Amino acid sequence: MPPAPTDDLVALPDGRPRLAVRTLPGERRPFLLVHGLSSNARLWDGVARHLAAAGHRVVAVDQRGHGRSQAPDGGYDTDTCADDLAALAGVLGLVGDAAPVVVGQSWGGNVVLSLAARHPGSAAAVACVDGGWIRLQDRFASFEECWAALAPPVFEGMRYDDLAARIRGARPDWPVEGLEGTLANLERLPDGGVRPWLSRDHHREIVRSLYDGDPGAWYPRVAVPVLLVPATGGEPAATDDERTAATRAAVVDAVTHLPDGDVRWYPGADHDIHAEQPERLAADLLALAARVPTGTTPTPTAQEARS
């Protein structure tokens, strides 16, 4: 029976927020798992279990303002959140020979590419799961149009139990870990109501950063292997909509401009590939880790590092 994850709050230097981490032990190269917009670390539970079973230490993080992490008033742009990860890696000793394979989903894919490009040596390899190539200016003519389309739903008046039943009913084939991780995006209020952990204002700041940012500027600067994992197939299909075709084109562009880029296509997958198909995704991530020499530097646990 594999050990249960441990949950800790890690204090970061320079006035940065405390970040919640969820850790599984292992002696092989660490993985650092980074969620997407308005998500949380528990969506990685299934993937983390498979990675840990292969002997790897796994750290999944709640980014600032998400899950159990602190929510400062500002700093929700992609680069600042990437800087949080660099600080977290330093505190946890995930540096040098113990630099992690860093994996980000959706907006988290953009965050980990920023990390690898702007903090050389911070990642031994990078994986971007249905994200990393997101540039919202390609989809929307103005930020106002973008926000109108991507603003989160309003949960006022909704009941947690009703929403939970709806989520479970919409995903009958998902593993239990994926469903429970999805529900962990939401705070269950004492009166039975519900709200997302991420505030609406902070959600807007992140969307604004995705609209203003251009991940293509990072591609040539990422000196480690990068695996792109889009939730679409590699070949055009008659059923493709405009967004699917645009995603495929963006992935091909990224692979072309990354110094060491590869892609694993997931046709028909959910955007939350990590929750829906944890075993397959973990296998692809293990293959990526196998390309990196094994680290030998001992690293402190989150419990040792917290204050």
Q: What is the pLDDT of residues 284-300, one digit of tens each?
A: 999 999 999 764 333 44
Backbone angles phi, psi at 174, to 5 degrees: -75, 150
pLDDT at 1: 66
31, 104, 123, 191, 225 from 101: Cα distances, Å: 5, 10, 6, 41, 10
Q: Is the pTM for the entire model greater than 0.85?
A: yes
Q: Indicate the Cα dihedral angle 197, 199, 203, 205, nearest 10°.
A: -140
Alpha-carbon gap, residue 115 to 98, rounded angstroms: 16
Q: Indicate the Cα dihedral angle 99, 101, 107, 110, nearest 10°.
A: 70
pLDDT at 304: 43
pLDDT at 293: 78
Question: For the chain, how long is the longest CA-to-CA vector?
Answer: 55
Is 49 in a helix, a strand, or coil?
Answer: helix
Identify the sign of the CA torsion 157, 158, 160, 161.
positive
Residues of the chain with pLDDT under 70: 1, 294-307
Domains (range + CATH), the chain: 6-305 (3.40.50.1820)
Mean of pLDDT over the chain: 94
Q: Which residues have CB under 8 Å from 191's CB, separation 6+?
A: none
DSSP class per residue in 227-292? EEE-SS-SS--TT--HHHHHHHHHHHHHHHHSTTEEE---TT--S-HHHH-HHHHHHHHHHHHTTS
pLDDT at 301: 46
Residue type, 98: A
Alpha-carbon gap, residue 127 to 83, rounded angstroms: 18
